[in-house]
Amino acid sequence: MKIRNSILILTISIVAVLDTTASNLADIAAVIKPGNFRPLNTISPFDVWRFGVQNEPLFCFSNGGSWDPFAGRMLYCGAPHGNSMRFAAYEEVTNTWKIYPMPAGVDWAGAHSYDHQTIDSSGIFYNLYWSDGVAYCFDTKTNKWISPLPATNTGFGTLDYFPEANGLLRVVGGKVTFFSLKTRKWTTLTNVTMGYPHNIAQYCASGKFIYFGGGDNNNNFYIIDSTLRIKAVKQPPFPMSVTTAHLTQDPVSGTLLALRQDSLYAYDISSDSWNSIAKNPVSTQEISHMAMIPINTYGVVALLSTSQWPVLLYKYRAPVSVESKRVKQLAVNLRANHNPFREQVTLSLPSGTTDISIFDLNGKHLFHQNTTGKSDIVWNATKYPAGVYIVKTRGLGTFQTLKLTLQ
């Protein structure tokens, strides 16, 4: 296998992006060439990530968090050894890491996140606590923890959203269960042979399956398709668990990616094989103290570590036809009847918009409304001070933003 050296570029360039509201994240993602890493300089990562006696990161012994494309933020629940779980978020609007409240009434002691976080297409972020087998649900549209799912198997396993099957896959040491978001029930599918603890799983958009298995002392892997049929695949050429690798996917091509201590690998579905594609740029750090989060809005993957580059963005494949996307976006642009405006503003919505939210520049969520079937909405801003506000709309797989100025 040949390893293609990745180029780590340390200069930051400001470029125009498709969004009507530029951000550090959008700017950096726009100029990365495929196969390269580039640092994203964010505010307060270590203040939020590192805590406890050993000063370890909250993503210690975990696979990865989730990207909330609507509010533009990375979400991560986790904890170092011997500490209670913390809910952290990177907010694109402010380029800052912040601490959010965890669900009340739960003893989160000793709560590594392992591979227990995922987000569904409706914007519900799930964080399963290994100790009680309950997946706690955070509604990204309202910024509130809502009713959790019924309990399932406890232990250090996986939880992953499966869009084609409209549900969540849970794997713990070979016990495979599935939660239907339609029936709101868990179903036991089968028992297969794999390691335990520290199993790992990842949805693969290009193959429309979930790849799962691994764990300590056994490297068996399987795929489950949208009909919930399971078959064994080849063992990876390296041990894979939340302590030895990080499994994610390229948000553009849907290709599975695995980060090891030395290298980044890509999965070839046709040959059922893993191939080295880049060097790990933070290989001097412990692999169990890293994490990866695919950012589908900008076609990159974020690599988190406690190195001199806390957040690195990696681009595996460039988005298709950036210019055609620009033309399409302009044709269905989110618009305001007056901008700047006083007291209230009418917002014209792109066709197919399902939700709209408004934030201040500190990332505070001020307004949310379901907009299915509507072509415009009125926002009354009389109770808010003069300043700049960010509007975000969501449709079927599309997101747009607009900067408003209240006078």
71-101: b (≥16 Cβ within 10 Å) or e? bbbbbbbbbbeebebbbbbbbbbbbbbbeee
Q: Residue 401: which pLDDT band, with cuts at 50, 70 and 90?
A: confident
Beta strands in 296-398 (DSSP E): 300-304, 311-315, 335-336, 344-348, 355-360, 365-370, 376-380, 387-394
Q: Is the pLDDT of residue 178 over 90?
A: yes
Q: What is the DSSP string of 75-88?
A: EEEE--TTSB-EEE
Q: Is the pLDDT of residue 112 over 60?
A: yes
What 8-state DSSP symbol labels residue 165? Answer: G
Q: Peptide bond preceding 340: is omega within 30 degrees of 0, i.e. cis? A: yes
On whether the CB atoms of residues 148 and 135 are closer than 8 A, the answer is yes
What pLDDT does 359 receive?
87
Show the domains of the chain with their CATH numbers.
24-315 (2.120.10.80), 333-406 (2.60.40.3080)
In this predicted model, what pLDDT tens digit does every residue of 266-279 receive, in sequence order? 999 999 999 999 99
Beta bridge partner(s), residue 268 = 273
- Highest mean pLDDT, choosing among 7-11, 49-53, 362-366: 49-53
In this predicted model, what pLDDT tens digit does every residue of 330-377 receive, in sequence order? 345 788 999 999 999 999 988 878 888 898 888 788 888 888 888 899
pTM given for the model: 0.83
Q: Is the pLDDT of residue 86 over 90?
A: yes
